[in-house]
Amino acid sequence: MASITHYGEGWRAHLFVAGRRESRLFKLRRESERWAAKRDAELRGGGIAMIFADAAERWLTWRLPGLSNANSQRTVEQ
């Protein structure tokens, strides 16, 4: 779980996952939030955070072969 706090003229992201603490300073709050979310996913999953395009591609690979109607398959691909 991450927490974002104002620190001097920037923002500090604190992260504590699986007994491991990390923190980092950023100029902008959204940068600290982005880093914390990505790093949290890396520490929890052992890999990099999945972006939507990767998740959509993975779903299509799993779901498309099971569609029985050719029109449904074309619609999903588009």
**Percentage of residues in the chain with pLDDT exceeding 70?**
78
Same domain assignment for residues 40 and 65: no
Q: What is the pLDDT of residue 42?
A: 81
Same domain, 31 and 55: no
The bridge status of strand 10-17 relative to strand 2-7 is: antiparallel
Place of tokens 């779903």: 59
Structural domain for 63, as ranges: 50-78
Task: Express each pLDDT in 13-37 by its tens digit.
Answer: 999 887 888 999 999 999 999 999 8
Q: Per-residue pLDDT averaged across 7-11, rounded?
A: 93
Cα(60)–Cα(38) distance, rounded to whole angstroms? 24
- Report the domain count for the chain: 2
Looking at residue 65, the DSSP 8-state letter turns out to be: G
The residue that leads in pLDDT, 32 or 56, is 32
1 with 31, same domain: the answer is: yes
Pairwise CA distance, residues 3 & 66, whole Å: 42
Residues 9 and 29 placed together within one structural domain of the fold: yes
Do residues 14 and 42 both lie within one domain? Answer: yes
Coil/strand/helix, residue 38 = helix
Question: Which pLDDT band, with edges at 50, 70 and 90, does 70 fall under?
Answer: low
